[in-house]
Amino acid sequence: MEINDFKVTPEKMKGKTVSDVAVTSNAVVIKFTDSTYLDIYLDNSAQTLKTSTNKLEG
């Protein structure tokens, strides 16, 4: 499975409406009403938090 990292731009997130949130011990995933997701997750190898966004098509 290929992992894609995307830069999160605050301007692109502004004004979106949250429809769901999932929280685990290693990640927070926020789903917006336009099917865009914001992922905040722990990168164990670097011991830092990382973010990515994606949008489900279809």
Q: What percent of the chain stands above pLDDT 90?
A: 38
Task: Give the model's pLDDT for residue 46.
Answer: 81
Residues 20 and 32: their CA atoms lie apart, in Å, by 7
Closest residue by Cα to residue 28 from 17, 46, 41? 41
- Report residue 31 CA to chain centroid gap: 8
Q: Say which residue, 13 or 38, is predicted with more confidence.
A: 38
Tens-digit pLDDT profile for residues 4-30? 555 677 888 889 999 999 999 999 999
3-state secondary structure of 13: helix
Predicted pLDDT at 12: 80
CA angle, corner 14, sides to 36 and 23, nearest 5? 50
- Residue in this structure with the two tokens 């502004």, named with its chain if needed: 14
Per-residue pLDDT for 2 more than 50? no
